[in-house]
């Protein structure tokens, strides 16, 4: 009898993947094979699988990273790792990351089937109890913060810790990096998750409306106040209020918000009575709050009240290693929404995406992918299609005129050349010194032909 949920096989070796598939299908199990680990993880976000079997050595994303991504999406799905070299270090690393079993190649079919059946049996009893919980909170769990880069791993580690601690949080990141998504992840994984998550963009509303939106008003408080109205603080009672672009608050609203944070109570406009609520405040900004404090536009005492814990989100250009995973994720969403069957971007098209500097971050990447898919004629999106929307950073720099761009190029060439000599050609160490992504440094090495410094 075929299982309702298929087994996912992630294996770049076509011969081995075919062998595993045959063993499992002969045992009555449905199987889906992926030779590309990025596509496998993207598919796992959109579909349900009973078991994941992944090789440990694959190009682009290894089996441990697949394990991490899968366990972040569904911690209860069993994962079996296949390896030709089951060293103690590999075994410990895999088990610590949540692997349910480790199988060494070559293996006998019967032994392999026994291990698979055992992994499935151990998780079967958990499915019914967890089904409702997955449905309720699937939209806002940690897996929606997508990435395998060190920067995203640090964000996830911090978010997981602060979610359980009822402290104010300030999220700092450029536009399009996913600040509200992080705020939602904190709320929906906190003890307040059964209560409201309420958000307001402090930079999108007219300043004259912000105070009434936050604190509410009494009938007759001002012209047009025809009835009593509760503000967002009251609506968020017991839950979380997310203040996006908080540094845009006016001085009056900052003063009123500070009073609320100190006293845990406030007054509606036109009301002499105070109202008490229990609300966790999460705020965000795409600018440096310390700069706003120095310029006198943001209160320092309010900043310290809001800044119980700071969660910085790196821009996409500093985590280019996450782009292939994000690309497959957005393609999978598009395929599911429109019933299409796009496979992905061609290698040279992906290279263009990696070379672009993404000023609009993940939001811009999502929009570009949507636009490319709208124009694509085949299953794969070409370099020519991508270049209708983005240009590689090198081409943008080369199109600049005047001495500034020449001077910048000379400086970068000398700087990275000296840094590589200093680190004796260790690119990872050089990238850490320069505080840039390794992918960015490789692009600079290619651009300025610095390979001789790697020797």
Q: What is the CATH number of the domain that holds 66?
A: 3.40.50.2300
- CB burial of residue 90 (10 Å; 0-12, 13-18, 19+): middle
> Would 157 be classed as within a structural domain?
yes
> Would 1 be classed as within a structural domain?
no
308 and 208 in a common domain: yes
365 and 252 in a common domain: no
CA 406 vs. chain centroid, Å, equals 36
Q: What is the distance between the alpha carbons of residues 198 and 232, in angstroms, rounded to a whole number?
A: 7
> Would 444 be classed as within a structural domain?
yes
Q: Give the number of other Cβ atoms within 10 Å of residue 314's Cβ.
A: 20
Task: Please give the chain's pLDDT, 455 residues, in tens.
Answer: 444 789 999 999 999 999 999 999 999 999 999 999 999 999 998 888 999 999 998 988 899 999 999 998 888 899 999 988 767 777 888 888 889 899 988 889 999 999 999 888 877 655 655 554 555 454 555 667 888 898 999 999 999 899 988 999 999 999 999 999 999 999 988 999 889 899 998 877 776 688 888 888 878 767 777 788 888 998 999 999 999 999 988 888 899 899 999 988 888 887 778 889 999 999 999 988 999 999 999 999 999 999 999 999 999 999 999 999 999 999 998 998 888 999 999 999 999 999 898 989 999 999 999 999 988 888 999 999 999 888 765 555 454 444 445 666 676 777 788 888 888 888 877 877 776 766 677 777 877 788 644 54
Last residue of a domain, one of 395, 427, 445: 395
158 and 211 in a common domain: yes
> SS3 breakdown of the chain: % helix, strand, coil, rounded to 5?
55, 15, 35
Would you say 436 and 442 are in contact if contact means Cβ atoms under 8 Å apart?
Answer: no
pTM for the predicted model, two decimal places: 0.68
- Residues 6+ positions from 452 with CB-CB distance below 8 Å: none
Token digits for 34? 């992926």
406 and 361 in a common domain: no
Q: Which parts of 180-327 are beta strand (E)?
A: 197-201, 216-217, 229-230, 240-244, 265-266, 275-276, 280-285, 309-312
Q: What is the distance between the alpha carbons of residues 266 and 279, in angstroms, rounded to a whole number?
A: 12
> Would 2 be classed as within a structural domain?
no
| 242: nearest Cα among 232, 250, 234 | 232
What is the domain count for the chain?
4
> Would 256 be classed as within a structural domain?
yes
Residue carrying the six token digits 């600040």 = 179
Q: What is the distance between the alpha carbons of residues 404 and 387, in angstroms, rounded to a whole number?
A: 26
At 122, is the secondary structure helix, strand, or coil? helix
286 and 307 in a common domain: yes
Token digits for 43? 């598919």
What residue numbers bound the domain in which 301 lies? 150-312
291 and 172 in a common domain: yes
> Would 144 be classed as within a structural domain?
no
301 and 275 in a common domain: yes
217 and 285 in a common domain: yes
Token digits for 292? 């706003």
The DSSP letter of residue 177 is S
Dihedral over Cα of 311, 315, 319, 325: its sign: positive
Dihedral over Cα of 109, 111, 115, 120: its sign: positive
299 and 384 in a common domain: no
Last residue of a domain, one of 139, 167, 192: 139
Paired with 200 in beta bridges are 243
340 and 218 in a common domain: no
> Would 187 be classed as within a structural domain?
yes
286 and 227 in a common domain: yes
Would you say 211 and 249 are in contact if contact means Cβ atoms under 8 Å apart?
Answer: no
CA Rg, the chain, in Å?
26
**Which CATH number is 345's domain given?**
1.10.8.60
230 and 291 in a common domain: yes
Last residue of a domain, one of 264, 292, 312: 312
> Would 25 be classed as within a structural domain?
yes
| H helix runs in 300-344, sequence order | 300-306, 323-338
**Which H/E stretch holds residue 354?**
helix 347-355
**Which CATH number is 209's domain given?**
3.40.50.300
């Amino acid at each position: 009898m075929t299982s309702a949920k298929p087994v996912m096989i992630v294996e770049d070796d076509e011969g081995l993947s075919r062998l595993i598939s045959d063993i499992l299908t002969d045992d009555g199990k449905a199987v889906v094979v992926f030779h590309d680990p990025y596509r496998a993880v993207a598919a796992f976000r959109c579909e349900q699988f009973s078991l994941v079997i992944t090789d440990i050595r694959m190009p682009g994303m290894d089996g441990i990273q697949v394990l991490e991504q899968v366990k972040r999406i569904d911690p209860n799905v069993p994962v079996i790792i296949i390896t030709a070299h089951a060293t103690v270090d590999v075994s410990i690393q895999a088990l610590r990351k949540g692997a349910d079993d480790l199988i060494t190649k070559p293996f006998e079919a019967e032994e392999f089937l026994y291990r698979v059946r055992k992994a499935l049996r151990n998780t079967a009893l958990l499915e019914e109890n967890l089904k409702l919980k997955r449905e309720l909170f699937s939209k806002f769990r940690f897996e929606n913060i997508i990435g395998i880069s060190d920067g995203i791993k640090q964000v996830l580690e911090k978010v997981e810790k602060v979610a359980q601690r009822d402290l104010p949080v300030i999220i700092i990141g450029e536009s399009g990096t996913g600040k509200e998504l992080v705020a939602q992840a904190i709320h929906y994984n906190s003890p307040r998750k059964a209560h409201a998550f309420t958000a307001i963009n402090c930079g999108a509303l007219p300043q004259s409306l912000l105070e009434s939106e936050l604190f509410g008003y009494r009938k007759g408080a001002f012209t047009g106040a025809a009835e009593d109205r509760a503000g967002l603080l009251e609506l968020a009672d017991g839950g979380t209020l997310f203040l996006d672009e908080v540094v845009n608050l006016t001085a009056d609203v900052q003063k009123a918000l500070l009073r609320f944070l100190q006293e845990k109570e406030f007054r509606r406009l036109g009301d002499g009575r105070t109202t008490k609520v229990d609300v966790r405040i999460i705020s965000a900004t795409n600018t440096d709050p310390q700069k706003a404090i120095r310029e006198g536009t943001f209160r320092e005492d309010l900043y310290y009240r809001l800044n119980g814990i700071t969660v910085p989100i790196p821009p996409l250009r500093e985590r280019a290693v996450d782009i292939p995973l994000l690309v497959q994720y957005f393609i999978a969403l598009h395929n599911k929404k429109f019933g299409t069957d796009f496979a992905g971007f061609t290698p040279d098209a992906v290279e263009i995406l990696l070379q672009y500097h993404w000023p609009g971050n993940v939001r811009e990447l999502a929009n570009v992918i949507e636009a490319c898919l709208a124009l694509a004629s085949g299953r794969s999106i070409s370099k020519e299609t991508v270049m209708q929307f983005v240009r590689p950073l090198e081409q943008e720099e080369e199109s600049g005129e005047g001495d500034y761009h020449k001077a910048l190029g000379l400086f970068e060439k000398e700087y990275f050349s000296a840094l590589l000599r200093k680190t004796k050609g260790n690119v990872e160490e050089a990238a850490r010194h320069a505080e840039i992504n390794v992918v960015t440094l490789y692009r600079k090495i290619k651009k300025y032909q610095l390979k001789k410094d790697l020797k």
